[in-house]
Amino acid sequence: MKLEDIKTEKDVRNCLEGYSEFEKAVYVETFRIPKGKVTTYGRIAKAIGKPGASRAVANTLHNNPLFPVVPCWRVVKNDGAFGGPKDAAAGRSPLSGLRRFPNTKLANTIIILRGYTA
């Protein structure tokens, strides 16, 4: 299946043959994040029933085989910063329209970014 043909969660799962159930769950949960919203690695981990696995979620998304269909750039660290190496994380800022707000905890699973549609 071509990336542009992926429209549903079932399509995402079907494209992930050979991946672990954990990886499939992470990619499907990330696929569900609406345009203009973000969540954290920890919230993804909790949503898939693995509350202590935020680092594993981050590692899984780092290897996202379905980019840009699965919007891994909509997942951030608990403090609102982008994960990964600083040079790579800096490159994601234009993709998401989000900037880091020091000393701020994300209060909800998803936050709204006004005026952002990607």
- The string of pLDDT tens digits covering residues 11-41 is 999 999 999 999 999 999 999 999 989 999 9
The CATH number given to whatever domain includes residue 42 is 1.10.10.10
Q: pLDDT confidence of 1, banded at 50, 70, 90? A: confident
**Residue 61: per-residue pLDDT:** 96
Instruction: Determine which one of 72, 76, 98, 106 is catalytic.
Output: 72
pLDDT of residue 79: 85
User: In this structure, how many other beta carbons lie within 10 angstroms of the beta carbon of residue 99?
Assistant: 9
Q: Which amino acid is at 32?
A: R
Q: What is the percent of the chain where pLDDT is above 90?
A: 64
pLDDT tens-digit readout, 51-77: 999 999 999 999 999 999 999 999 999
> pTM here?
0.75
Domain holding 92, by residue range, is: 3-112
Higher pLDDT, 82 or 106: 82
Residue 72 annotated as catalytic:
yes
Helix (H, G, I), strand (E, B) or coil at 38: strand
Domain count for the chain, please give it. 1
Q: Is residue 20 part of a domain?
A: yes
Classify residue 117: in a domain, yes or no: no
The answer to whether the CB of 36 falls within 8 A of the CB of 14 is: no
